Amino acid sequence: MRYYIIAGEASGDLHGSNLIKELKKADTTAEIRCWGGDRMQQAGGQLVKHYRNLAFMGFYEVVKNLGTILRNLQFCKDDIAKYKPDALILIDYPGFNLRIAEWAKQQGYKIIYYISPQVWAWKENRVHKMKQCIDKMLVILPFEKDYYKNKWNWEVEYVGHPLIEVVEEAQLQPGSTPLADKPIIALLPGSRKQEILKKLPIMLEVSRMFPAYQFIVAKAPGQEDSFYESVLATYPNVSSVRDATYNLLLQSRAALVTSGTATLETALFGVPEVVCYKGSNISYQIAKRLIKVKYISLVNLIMDKLVVKELIQNDLTPGNLRKELDDLLTNEATQQQLRADYAALQHLLGQGGHASARAASIIVEYLTP
């Protein structure tokens, strides 16, 4: 069969690549055209557009880039119509993908959504349209199945979280060369230029307060080396790695992590972390009024309690970061509690099974006459 897959971010590229591998096992003659990144291309998808040209963060940034977004939407519709896939598989990225879903449903395409938009956090009214447009919804967070069933009378399928298999595979890799001769603190400042420029300078200031540690920045695949060089130049105990985030986490004592999938990856590697969020003031003020969840970190949302400390907007200062990082590195009680919470998180996310294989199996079975 012919599949058209759309992912718009680094995490979607990762999960999309594993889904492509499993689709090719379940459907050996599968043809796959995709929007995503290098990983999806390496897995065998024919890449149409790279996510680095799609990702705009925050309300203000989206409005500013509206012309580009609208052109991308039209290009995508034309490309789908030309390709005539048997199914459209949409991975998260709701602002774009739900518009495509609405259009594609009218054209008569079968639509499968893998990794639900986080409508339980904000824009719940999207669910009405989602129910009309989406033929099959596959969710990866354990509470989402009940949320859709109890609140919206919509049967969706929980397939487990795809990060479980990704992290397990990374942990089985043979040990690699040490990244530093001092204990390491990982800095994961995000994948988009706007968010990196907001958070990384604050993270870097903290490095001056911990001279006994090597701070290592995980570079985003979509950003050039030159972009980081100017930012890191004046910090003596800071270096960087590219395409080695998991190796970095395997070797780290603690991590400062921007909100998003990275908070969950860090927890699954068992690394103590502080979650850092800072957006443009306009975007933050709008978000604060619209978003309805208690936490911004996936770790805390899934566990429904404060497992990892979150420093948001004005609370994200070098002084506050230093205090929280010091607690993670030196407080035995904090470390013990974190280990117990991380173990419970892992168990909860593994209950659906091997997510990528299960999702591929459900998709192929659904499309097979």
Could you tell me if 216 and 184 are in contact, meaning their C-beta atoms sit under 8 angstroms apart? yes
Could you tell me if 345 and 265 are in contact, meaning their C-beta atoms sit under 8 angstroms apart? no
User: What size, in residues, is the chain?
Assistant: 369
Per DSSP, 313 falls in state: G
Tell me what pLDDT residue 61 has. 62
Tokens at residue 323, please? 């205090």
Residues of the chain with CATH 3.40.50.2000: 2-160+353-367, 168-350
Query: CA Rg, the chain, in Å?
Result: 20
The secondary structure of 113-131 as a DSSP string is EES---TTTS-TTHHHHHH
Residue pLDDT, tens place only, 341-362: 999 999 989 887 799 999 999 9
Please provide the average confidence, as pLDDT, over all residues in the chain: 91
Q: What dotted CATH number matches 168-350?
A: 3.40.50.2000
For residue 122, name the pLDDT band (cuts at 50, 70, 90).
confident
- Distance in angstroms between the alpha carbons of the first and the last residue of the chain: 12
The secondary structure of 26-83 as a DSSP string is HSTT-EEEEEE-HHHHHTT-EEEEEGGGT---SHHHHHHTHHHHHHHHHHHHHHHHHH
Cβ-in-10-Å burial (0-12, 13-18, 19+) of 343 comes to exposed
Residue pLDDT, tens place only, 227-246: 999 899 999 999 999 999 99
Mean pLDDT within 10-19: 92
Could you tell me if 19 and 5 are in contact, meaning their C-beta atoms sit under 8 angstroms apart? yes
Q: For the sheet containing 273-277, what is the strand order?
A: 238-242, 214-219, 184-188, 252-258, 273-277, 309-312
Looking at the structure, give the CATH architecture of the domain made up of residues 2-160+353-367. Answer: 3-Layer(aba) Sandwich (3.40)
Say whether pLDDT at 53 is over 80: no
Tell me what pLDDT residue 60 has. 55
Least Cα distance to 312 among 273, 278, 272, 274 occurs for: 278
For residue 83, name the pLDDT band (cuts at 50, 70, 90).
very high
Query: CB neighbours of 229 closer than 8 A, spacing ≥ 6?
Result: none
Say whether pLDDT at 275 is over 90: yes
Q: Report how far residue 326's alpha carbon sits from residue 82's, in angstroms, rounded to the nearest whole number.
A: 56
Q: Could you tell me the sign of the dihedral formed by the alpha carbons of 56, 286, 189, 21, in that order?
A: negative
Q: Report how far residue 170's alpha carbon sits from residue 65's, in angstroms, rounded to the nearest whole number.
A: 36
Tell me what pLDDT residue 293 has. 66
Say whether pLDDT at 221 is over 80: no
Mean pLDDT within 10-21: 93
Mean pLDDT within 26-42: 96
Q: Report how far residue 92's alpha carbon sits from residue 100's, in angstroms, rounded to the nearest whole number.
A: 12
Least Cα distance to 266 among 185, 362, 154 occurs for: 185
Q: Report how far residue 14's alpha carbon sits from residue 141's, in angstroms, rounded to the nearest whole number.
A: 17
Tell me what pLDDT residue 191 has. 83
For residue 222, name the pLDDT band (cuts at 50, 70, 90).
confident
Say whether pLDDT at 109 is over 90: yes
Question: Reduced to 3 states, what is the DSSP secondary structure of residue 20?
Answer: helix
Comparing 131 with 65, the larger pLDDT belongs to 131
Tell me what pLDDT residue 62 has. 64
Percent of the chain with pLDDT over 90: 73
For residue 289, name the pLDDT band (cuts at 50, 70, 90).
low
Comparing 252 with 294, the larger pLDDT belongs to 252
pTM metric for this prediction = 0.83
User: Which residues face 311 on adjacent strands?
Assistant: 276
